[in-house]
């Protein structure tokens, strides 16, 4: 998948904004890359490498943590077959977007399992997109529609 990538930290600007990186705050350090992240043909995913890297979503509309306000919880697990979490091979981060706008970045070490959750505000609708980064196999994309 083609995209704008921060030369300093590797963040992918899905919204095309190249003024400032929201992760490392570098200014005007973006470059266009043909292979910004892998976007597999999801209807034809059969390989183990793909199944271990594609972000896998579970949406929960009844939040068990933030009561009274309301949430749309987007759980992300990497991947359908759980990715290894070893010092030499692990997921380093998961970046969340809603309708191409950056909303959150979660960093990982090999001390945690490759899964996280974001508590979007109640009533959030649109396309939630995730790009995860594996220290060996690079960046992988997936998306889910919140209705
Ligand atoms: Fe990997």
Q: What is the pLDDT of residues 42-75, one digit of tens each?
A: 667 778 898 999 999 999 988 878 878 889 999 9
**101 CA distance to ligand 1 centroid (A)?**
26
Count Cβ neighbours within 10 Å for each residue of 18-32 and write b for 16 or more, e otherwise: beebbbeeeeebbee
CA pair distance 1, 42, nearest whole angstrom = 13
Provide the pLDDT for residue 64: 78
**35 CA distance to ligand 1 centroid (A)?**
16
**1 CA distance to ligand 1 centroid (A)?**
18
Residue of 131, 140, 136 whose CA lies nearest to 110? 136
**141 CA distance to ligand 1 centroid (A)?**
13
On whether the pTM is more than 0.85, the answer is yes
The residues with which 72 forms a beta bridge, in sequence order, are 120
**16 CA distance to ligand 1 centroid (A)?**
27
Place of tokens 């997936």: 142
């Amino acid at each position: 998948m083609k995209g704008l990538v921060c030369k300093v930290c590797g963040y992918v600007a899905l919204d095309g904004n190249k003024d400032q990186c929201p992760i490392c705050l570098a200014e005007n350090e973006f470059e266009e890359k043909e292979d910004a992240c892998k976007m597999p043909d999801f209807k034809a995913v059969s390989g183990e490498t793909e199944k271990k890297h594609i972000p896998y979503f579970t949406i929960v509309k009844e939040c068990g943590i933030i009561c009274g306000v309301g949430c749309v919880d987007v759980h992300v697990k990497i991947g359908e077959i759980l990715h290894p979490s070893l010092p030499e091979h692990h997921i380093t981060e998961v970046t969340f977007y809603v309708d191409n706008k950056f909303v959150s970045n979660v960093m990982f070490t090999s001390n945690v399992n490759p899964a996280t959750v974001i508590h979007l505000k109640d009533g959030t609708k649109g396309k939630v997109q995730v790009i995860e980064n594996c220290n060996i196999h690079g960046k992988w994309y997936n998306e889910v529609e919140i209705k």
